Structure formats: structure tokens, C-alpha cells
Amino acid sequence: MPELPEVEITRRGLLPLINQVVKNVAIRNASMRWPIPSHLIKTLKNKKLVSLNRRAKYILAQFDNGTLLLHLGMSGRISLLDRNYPPEKHDHFDIEFQDGRLLRLRDPRRFGAVLWVGLEPSEHKLLSGLGPEPLDDMFNGEYLHQSIRTRTATIKTTIMDSHLVVGVGNIYASESLFRARIDPQLPANKLSLAKCERLVTEIKATLNDALNAGGSSLRDFFGTDGNPGYFQQEYFAYGRTDKPCKVCGKPIKTVRLGQRSTFYCAYCQKSV
């Protein structure tokens, strides 16, 4: 699943569309995670794209009459194309702009979303309960320490809770915990303030490094220009089961936490 860096890379790739006016909307298959609203064909026509923002893993395309929410789901991809580029089997949604460019959503598994959230997107049920952005100043060691004092779940599953902090998915949780030298199986409430500060620092650094590398391209993710990201080449832990740790040389281990595979070095990430 594309995580925060991949969604942010996608958002940045769409920025040339700002101030462009919609010419047409095409809905080829409305059966996504939630049905694509049919009224978008009329609602968006002749409207100007005012801004493109991101909240967690959602892209918010603000037009002069409201906001469109886009989510990539498990395998979705948004491309910026010439309007004459022919659609393929899994190309479900297009916004054609008057300058001849096309925003196209491809989603083979159809777990993504295209929803109209109106004039107050922050009040929509998908957005209203979200925690702070991990790269914002509000997300700091003190905030994390205070927020997890009563949490007995593992720290890995805890930092993946979008009510606590958004956008720290499976890949970047594993990588951040390795960099912070914290055992992912440690109960969250056992982390000291110092460890929380170190973990926050490494979450921010890991996400920024991923952004600078164009995100991670494992299966389905490509940027809007069709180019892959390269952060997967820098992984310390994720997906490296039984391979030697890049720091100590001992084999990387895997454990299931919260129904997700978690990769870590038992030597570098000791719990004591």
C-alpha cells in the first residue's frame, strides 16, 4: 500500500494542474471502496482547481465549489497524462483539463477512493478523527510520551494508529524503529521520554529520506510521471528477513504484530 511519502510524491506531481479548469470527467467503473459519485461529471465541469493538499494518505483537490478526496488504496496510482492517452483496463476515473492534461486514477484492486467532501473536508468522517501529521511540530517526543502512557499494545502497532499520528505505515514504522534502536515488540507505555524523542526524530528523518528518494516502489507505486521511487534500496529492516543486518551483520527477523509482518534486528533493537 502506498504510504505517506508515496502519497506526498503523487500530490507534488499534480501541482502543475493548479489553476487549470476542468473540461470533462469520466467515470469508467464507479465500484471502488465507496462508489464514485456520479454527480462529479456535472459538479466538476468548468471548475478551477484551486489547491492540492494532503491529509494523512488522502489527497485533497480543492476546486472553487468544494473538495475532492482521493485515496490510492492498496494498489492505486494517479498519473498526469496527455488527454489523448488511451485508457487501459484498470483506469477507472479521469479528470480532463482544458489545457489538454489528464488526471487518471488506475486501481486494479479498487480499494481506493474518489469522494466529494464539499466545503468543509476536515469535518468529513474519514478526516475528522485523525492525529497530527508526523512532520509537523506538534508531533514531538513530549506529545508521543504523553499519548502512550496507558497503551499496552506494542510500540510498532501503536505508532501505526492514525488517531495518534497519521501516515506511519508498515514500511516506515519498521524502518523508524530500527533507526531508533527500539524493539518493535516493546509495550508502548514502557518507552521513556528520551526514547520517545529519539523515535520521533527517526520517524521524521525516515519519512524525509523517503521523500527525497521519490518514495518506495515495491509493487504498484510509480509517481505521476511514471517513474519509480528508490527508497527501498535504503531499507535497513523492511522485507530483509534472514538477510544480514547492515549494522551488526546478524540476520533480520520477522514477527507478526497487529496482523502485519514486522522486520527487526534482535541484536540492534534490544528491549533493554
- Catalytic machinery residues: 2-3, 57, 260
Give just the sign of the alpha carbon dihedral 121, 126, 131, 134.
negative
CA dist., res. 245 & res. 20, Å (int): 48
Q: Indicate the burial class of 7 (C-beta count within 10 angstroms; 0-12, 13-18, 19 or more).
A: buried
Measured torsion, CA atoms of residues 187, 188, 189, 195, in degrees rounded to the nearest 10: 110
Half-sphere exposure of 39 (CA within 13 A, CB side): 7
- Alpha-carbon gap, residue 80 to 96, rounded angstroms: 10
Residue of 257, 255, 253, 209 whose CA lies nearest to 233: 209
CA 156, CA 119: separation in Å to the nearest integer?
35
C-alpha dist (Å) from residue 256 to 90, 205, 215: 32, 25, 24
Residue type, 134: P
